[in-house]
Amino acid sequence: MESFNVAILGCGTVGSGVAKILLDIPEELSIRANKKINLVKIVDLYPGKSASTYNLPIDLFCGGGKDLTREEASRYIEEIITDSSINLVVETIGGTSDYLHDVMLRVLKSGKHLVTANKAMLAEKGNDLFSAAQQNNVLLGYEASVCGAIPIIKTIRESFTGDKIIEISGILNGTSNYILSTMQNEGLDFPTALKNAQEAGYAEADPTLDINGGDAAHKLTILIRLAFGANIDYFSLHKEGIDQISKEDIDFANEMGCSIKLICYARQMNGKIFAAVKPMMVKSENFLSKVNGATNCVQVNNLYSGKHYFVGKGAGSLETASSVVSDIVFAARYEQKAISMPELKNCELIEAGSIMLPYNITFATEDRPGITGLVTTAIGSQNINIDTVSHNRHNKEKAYFSVVTMPCTLNQVKQAIAEIKQKAPGLLLEEPKILPILY
């Protein structure tokens, strides 16, 4: 049987999982690939620690088992790139440094397949990587970059080719979903829920990318490019995080029969793309409202076949590694027939303020009569129809209440808030919180 040789760059959580799977089930993988898949080299700065921690053979590591300087690691990486016997390189170093981008580019230009879980690199600097893969007739595999073990990339790329995707929505970040779920189910405030997530191992010591929407936006950018063939700029994508979600917001959501989720949403509209990552109130009849804990879920809405849901673990060593290995098997089996990314067309992002959606607007005001009437009158003056107005909730000297609108634009809502501030200066004790409602 023909050999197919693999090298791994970086042997942390994901890289070690890839190595373990390749070493644990080589016969099964080789049968599926119709080639003998061999793990031949690993480059890691701390091979002794990695080999011991993850129970891997030390002789697979470059450098004879001693710790490497960055210069030594770079030299071994260069040897792998120029080694004609190596067919595929797995990148699990992570980050978006120019150095790593150059390494990935040179791997592809050398005629080797490249598999990565690096969503940040693909979202922010991926265009020339995909171009290099096409020009050199090699695979750039990235199944593991979106939602870990959920096979959403291959499904969109292969299974939906007879249909047209019109909308994607979903929960693409497990850490934020774990935090919001515990806030809702256990009545916790955000700081406490975040601390619990860190103690449980779901949130990093620095959770910024998870809670500010950045990680989810990386994944949504990749899905938009694949599903719609649209080249969008990650940095232009509208992003909001969950750090401002309060216990009062959760209470209002419960009152409305909703769950608050960090939702990734994208839709094709007249040749343009509306896309955003932001907290939304998801109605209980929507399946996404029931996805709790660190679970991920992607909803794909097709023109002909309707809605499809993909649910599973979005992170974890072996979960993510299994997706990396699936790309390795795919590359080994299909080689030059493998497809990385369709030809992309430049696509304009629709300004978020112009999209019609129902909204929940939460106001914090002085606790005195007549305030609800003043607020609802200002909302009505912007031609916004009101669905419901909640009961007041009191927190010390503040009164909290929410107004649920019928579909309108965010620009209309902001104009109504500006009118309230003009007519009653000082009435609003906090900036109103505006959350779209997803049915």
CATH class of 152-313: alpha beta
Phi and psi at residue 205, to the nearest 5°: -60, -40
> Does the pLDDT value for residue 341 go beyond 90?
no
Provide the residue type at 327 as one letter: D
pLDDT band at 129 (very low <50, low <70, confident <90, very high): very high
Range list for CATH 3.30.70.260 in the chain: 353-438
pLDDT confidence of residue 393: 83
pLDDT confidence of residue 343: 77
- Whether the Cβ atoms of residue 54 and residue 354 lie closer than 8 Å to each other: no
Q: For 49-88, write each residue's pLDDT tens digit.
A: 999 999 999 999 999 889 999 999 999 999 999 999 999 9
Q: For 181-238, write each residue's pLDDT tens digit.
A: 999 999 999 999 999 999 988 888 899 999 999 999 999 999 999 999 999 999 999 9
> Does the pLDDT value for residue 397 go beyond 90?
no
Q: For 87-125, write each residue's pLDDT tens digit.
A: 999 999 999 999 999 999 999 999 999 999 999 999 999
**Catalytic choice (35, 41, 125, 219):** 219
Q: For 363-372, write each residue's pLDDT tens digit.
A: 999 888 888 9
pLDDT confidence of residue 309: 96
> Does the pLDDT value for residue 172 go beyond 90?
yes
pLDDT confidence of residue 352: 82
Distances (CA, A) of 220 to 95, 276, 349: 17, 9, 13
- In sequence order, what DSSP letters do the residues of 276-290 get, joined into one string? EEEEEEEETTSGGGG
CATH class of 3-148+318-343: alpha beta
Tell me, letter by letter, the H, E, C secondary structure of 163-224.
CCEEEEEEECCHHHHHHHHHHHHHCCCHHHHHHHHHHCCCCCCCCHHHHCCHHHHHHHHHHH
Range list for CATH 3.30.360.10 in the chain: 152-313
pLDDT confidence of residue 125: 96
- Whether the Cβ atoms of residue 259 and residue 407 lie closer than 8 Å to each other: no
Give the other-Cβ count within 10 Å of 63's Cβ. Answer: 18
Q: Please provide the average confidence, as pLDDT, over all residues in the chain.
A: 94
Which two tokens mark 281? Answer: 């109130």
Distance CA 153, CA 156 (A): 5
Mark whether 109 is an active-site residue.
no
Range list for CATH 3.40.50.720 in the chain: 3-148+318-343
**One CATH from 3.40.640.10, 3.40.50.1370, 3.30.450.20, 3.30.70.260 for 353-438:** 3.30.70.260
> Does the pLDDT value for residue 338 go beyond 90?
no
pLDDT confidence of residue 139: 94
